[in-house]
Amino acid sequence: MLLTVVTYFRYKQFMYKALVTGGTQGIGLAIAKHLQQHGYEVITCARNSNATLKCDVTDRLQVHQMREMTGPVDILINNAGGAVSAPFLKLTEPDWDQQFQWNLKSVFYCTQEYLPAMLEKKWGRIINIASTAGKKGYAYVTAYSAAKHAVIGLTRALAQETAIHGVTVNAVCPSFVDTPMLQKSVEPISRKTGKSVEEIMETFRAHNPQKRFITPEEVASAVLFLIETPAVNGQAISLCGGETV
């Protein structure tokens, strides 16, 4: 009897289709693998050809074309994004605009494309991968922090609109995650400050009371929790070892 119940549960889960943007490395890849392991059908998109679909989610036309190819999805994980490190007074307007395009407009484009079918079905999950930078801010990533603050605001506001329709909208806010993106963001800081990469990494670790980086797998576990817990809505859940308490 137990085997029958488990089999039915997994089959029922597989009926749910998830799209993970930026799903070929780091956090996105970990989320995609974790959901597949738990029986979900997963589509990944990214600007490179390693994804299920090649799509630049900062281009509204490409996002529209992707939605026409995938059809509706039940779960949208807005993970694509990136950070540019620079002192505020050296931050250029193109860099500022790019950070909002990567981290905020991509969420706007994808959510507007995939939300209507969720509302019609009366079931859906939208999970935005934000950051503790969207809650407290960090030096040298002003534009990134501002964009992630906006993502959290979008999350909270949209959750109020969609709650009655069976669609939850939440954000996961990790602190520094051990990914290639972190390494990439540290290198220019190292060049500009003269500090070694390891010195800077140690400074980043020190922000976390547990003195460690968050793993991509921890973010993936939080995403699965939000998918399977309908009572949680409009939340920005921190994964930071207590940093934002």
Q: Which helix (H) or strand (E) holds 78?
A: strand 75-78
Cα separations (Å) of 207 from 151, 174, 218?
22, 12, 17
Q: Smallest Cα–Cα separation from 19: which of 81, 82, 71? A: 71
Residues 6+ apart with CB under 8 A from 243: 132, 136, 175, 207, 208, 209
- Is residue 16 annotated as a catalytic residue, yes or no? no
d(Cα 167, Cα 121) in Å, to the nearest integer?
9
Look at strands 167-174 and 75-78 and give their pairing: unpaired
Residue 85's φ and ψ, nearest 5 degrees, are -100, 125
For the beta carbon of residue 235, count every other beta carbon within 10 angstroms. Answer: 18
Give the full edge-to-edge strand order of the sheet including 53-54: 53-54, 41-46, 17-21, 75-78, 124-129, 167-174, 236-239
d(Cα 237, Cα 222) in Å, to the nearest integer?
8
Q: Which residues are catalytic?
A: 144
